[in-house]
Structure 1
Amino acid sequence: MAHPRVRIPSLLALTLGAALVLATAGCGSSDTSAKSASPSSDGKQKSAPVVVATTTWEGAFAKAAGARDVKVIVPPSVHHAPDYDPKPSDLAAVAGADFVLYAPFEPYAAKIKQAAGSKAKLVEVNLDNDADKATAEVASLGKLFGTQDAAARWKTSFDAEYGTLQQDLKAAWPGGKAPAVVAQVFSTWSAKMAGAEVVGTYGPEAVTAQQLAELSKKKPALVLDNVHMTTGTVLPDSGAKQIEVVNYPDKDLDLLAVYKAAAAVVKKGMSGS
């Protein structure tokens, strides 16, 4: 994932917010982080982990891995997570967590944890929707959470659905031939799913005039842009149809829905409609 410009809230502001949360907690507020019991592989009961994720992307990985109590800090409407300013309520969620999931481009996660006085384990997540990398990350989180069985079941379901999407996209190739595409570096996973021929990539920085000329020479049929980091039309006047690919799941934290949505827009783009 990219490393956009980051605005980190001051630790002092976060600490003051944490103090406010703790004071409020002492006035009889309800505990929204109570852990539910779940059976372990040996049949005994154990506490299900409470997970706080900085964004819906990490949250969806956690849900796929078997976590049932997942709280997300950054609303889905915020396209650039590092630009989000945490609120006192976010600190309250972190204070009751077992795990705090974040990405390397979200350095404020550690600040949030520190200011909230949380003893949660800070976990860096590899946010990449490449199918192989995503399933590996889900398996890793399942092992960390102690929910390996749930993570394995998700992978079985994902593999089946992903295979179906691949077959459907291949059947939609124009003239039965894999389309040539240019992809933003964090949207290449959608090209892989479609079986497209990636003739060039760009980003995360803006496309330069030289890059524009070089990419245009490749004569791609499609440009797979990243809606979260779009810089507008990438190859104007090239004849290539630009498609906006979404990486982040919605508030339902359904990771598979991201693949289905990408498949739908790519298929539509290949059809020329």
Structure 2
Amino acid sequence: MAHTRGRTTSLLALSAALALVTGCENGSSSAGGGGDKREHDGKPVVVVTTTWEGALAKAAGAENVQVIVPQSVQHAPDYDPKPSDLAAVAGADFVLYAPFEPYAGKIKEAAGSEAELVEVNLDNDADKVDAEVAELGKLFGTEDAAAKWTAAFAGEYAKLSKDLKAQWPGGKSPVVVSQVFTTWAAKLAGANLVGTYGPEAVTPAQLAKLGKEKPALVLDNAHMSTGTVLPGSGAQQVEIVNYPGDDLDLLPVYRNAATALKEAMPAS
């Protein structure tokens, strides 16, 4: 567990750095304190660990959203927080994180923040997204904005799903194998999901079992790829991206997945 110990030491150092930063601010002006920031425009200040949580917060109606982990980081749990991250947390009303991001609670503790720590279910399954956005809307007091986004999302999702189903080879739902965190894309396409793999390394026994299903498509998680899953099987492997971009817009995630699936299906 040497890696965990290193992170704890890093967070303690960051906490000390934050104390120096906030000490200077308090000595020069009270206007820069977390209290005033939390009152900004009467809207909640939300700090999120990644763009995925950020997109959900934005969809729920949050406007003051700050992301800790850069979008360029492929695997969020590997990120090491900086002093500026702690400063952001210190002025937040809410800190959103996922349970597989072990540093979120430590960030809040090290920063001494009074923010509410909110665990978010990161799953792009449409029903789960709707539930998460509604829940965050209630938490933020932005239910109307959340409901408006959900309605727009439902329309976009239905259109993408319809277009994908029209692309089915021979009018038949394609047989699909998916990484456990990209099954939402199979659902979007109306595909026949016959098996999953990951997040652990795929064993020879699993490969044999999945291969027997003769899938036309393998949906791979771009953020946790293990390379070609079923080499020599003839299955087309499709890379699915879960995380939104820096604009914190969740809809392009679905559009991009639909485009990738469309391009793969004619050859399937």
Q: Give how far 1:107 is off.
A: 1.8
In the alignment, what sits opposite 1:150? 145
In the alignment of these two chains, the number of paired residues is: 260
Q: What amino acid is aligned across from residue 261 of structure 1 in structure 2?
A: N
Q: Give how far 1:36 is off.
A: 4.0
Q: Give how far 1:28 is off.
A: 4.9
In the alignment, what sits opposite 2:49? 54
Q: Deviations over 1:130-188 (max 9, x none)?
A: 00001100000000000000000000100000000000000000111000010000000
Q: Give how far 1:13 is off.
A: 1.9
In the alignment, what sits opposite 2:81? 86
Alignment of 1:119-158 (within 5 A): 119-158=114-153
Q: Deviations over 1:80-125 (max 9, x none)?
A: 1111110011011101000000000112111111111110000000
* Percent identity (aligned): 68
Structure 1 alignment gaps of length 5 or more = 38-46
Q: Distance in 1 between matches of 2:45 and 2:28?
A: 21
Q: Which runs of 4+ in 1 moved over 6 A?
A: none
Contact in 1 for aligned 2:46/2:95 (Cα 8 Å): yes
In the alignment, what sits opposite 1:44? none
Q: What amino acid is aligned across from residue 197 of structure 1 in structure 2?
A: N
Q: Distance in 1 between matches of 2:209 and 2:74?
A: 29
Q: Distance in 2 between matches of 1:178 and 1:241?
A: 15
Q: Distance in 2 between matches of 1:129 and 1:17?
A: 36
Find the partner of 1:70 among 57, 65, 74.
65
Q: Deviations over 1:42-68 (max 9, x none)?
A: xxxxx1100000000000000000000
In the alignment, what sits opposite 2:21? 21
Find the partner of 1:236 among 231, 234, 239.
231
**Structure richer in helix, relative to its length:** 2
Distance 1:23 1:36, change over 3 A: closer
In the alignment, what sits opposite 1:41? none
Distance 1:173 1:27, change over 3 A: farther
Secondary structure at the aligned position of 1:228 is classed as: coil
Contact in 2 for aligned 1:249/1:255 (Cα 8 Å): yes
Structure 1 residue 8 corresponds to structure 2 residue 3: no
Q: Distance in 2 between matches of 1:61 and 1:138?
A: 6
Q: Distance in 2 between matches of 1:189 and 1:20?
A: 45
In the alignment, what sits opposite 1:210? 205
Find the partner of 1:269 among 242, 250, 264.
264
Find the partner of 2:91 among 93, 96, 112.
96
Q: Report the aligned-residue RMSD.
A: 1.8
Contact in 2 for aligned 1:21/1:89 (Cα 8 Å): no
Contact in 2 for aligned 1:99/1:122 (Cα 8 Å): yes
TM-score by length of 1: 0.91
In the alignment, what sits opposite 1:178? 173
Structure 2 alignment gaps of length 5 or more = none
Q: Distance in 1 between matches of 2:217 and 2:265?
A: 8
